[in-house]
């Protein structure tokens, strides 16, 4: 698949095949693409907590309770992407914390790598941060940036058509 086709094919999957596990070999390979992502000053301020059915069932429950939507229960695995604010680069001129920027790049590597494997993912940020932090023992300096449910899409999953701004609206040559 060309990169353009991969970007076109990736979509937010909210209907997974719960009974089809994703192997740890595939999950590790997907995290490898996050490991290779660029980060400001190469600080790599990330840790990825992967939860599958081989983990204690309580971990899965924590994730589901933190984002209580029926579709989430269809995912066979979750990746909780955590950013370390103490390790991330802060820009000298205004002290801007680049944790979110670095984690976003790594997370999108994960989503695109998953799509390349025929897997579905969805960024989830609208979760209860305190529940995830305490339930998964995430240290204080780390922030859970996103939960990524991951799995094979249900055979009859509907794929929404892409709703995007036109290129003319977002591309400016020379000046804004």
Ligand X SMILES: Cc1cc2nc3c(=O)[nH]c(=O)nc-3n(C[C@H](O)[C@H](O)[C@H](O)COP(=O)(O)O)c2cc1C
Residue 72 DSSP label: G
Which of the residues 157 through 176 are near ligand X (CB under 6 A)?
160, 162
CA distance 51 to 96: 31
In the list 124, 132, 148, 150, the residue contacting ligand X (rule: CB under 6 A) is 124
Residue 16 DSSP label: B
C-beta of residue 16 within 8 angstroms of C-beta of residue 78: no
**Binding flags for ligand X, 11-30, as an x/- string (CB under 6 A):** xx------------------
In the list 37, 65, 100, 123, the residue contacting ligand X (rule: CB under 6 A) is 123
**Contacting residues for 19 by C-beta, under 8 A, at least 6 apart:** 76
| Nearer to ligand X among residue 126 and residue 134 (C-beta) | 126
| Nearer to ligand X among residue 55 and residue 125 (C-beta) | 125
Q: Which is nearest to 16 in space by CA: 57, 69, 61?
A: 69
Which positions lie near ligand X, rule CB under 6 A? 11-12, 122-126, 160, 162
């Amino acid at each position: 698949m060309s990169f353009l086709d991969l970007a076109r094919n990736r979509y937010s999957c909210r209907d997974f095949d719960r009974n089809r596990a994703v192997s740890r070999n595939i999950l590790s390979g997907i995290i490898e693409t996050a490991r290779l992502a660029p980060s400001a000053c190469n600080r790599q301020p990330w840790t990825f907590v992967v939860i599958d059915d081989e983990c204690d069932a309580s971990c899965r429950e924590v994730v589901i309770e933190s984002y209580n939507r029926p579709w989430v229960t269809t995912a066979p695995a979750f990746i909780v992407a955590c950013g370390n604010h103490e390790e991330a680069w802060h820009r000298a001129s205004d002290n801007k914390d680049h944790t979110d920027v670095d984690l976003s790049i790594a997370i999108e590597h994960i989503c695109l790598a998953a799509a390349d494997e025929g897997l579905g993912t969805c960024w989830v940020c609208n979760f209860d941060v305190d529940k995830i932090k305490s339930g998964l023992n995430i240290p204080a300096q780390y922030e859970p940036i996103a939960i990524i449910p991951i799995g094979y899409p249900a055979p009859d999953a509907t794929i929404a058509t892409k709703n995007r701004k036109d290129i003319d609206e977002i591309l400016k040559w020379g000046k804004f």
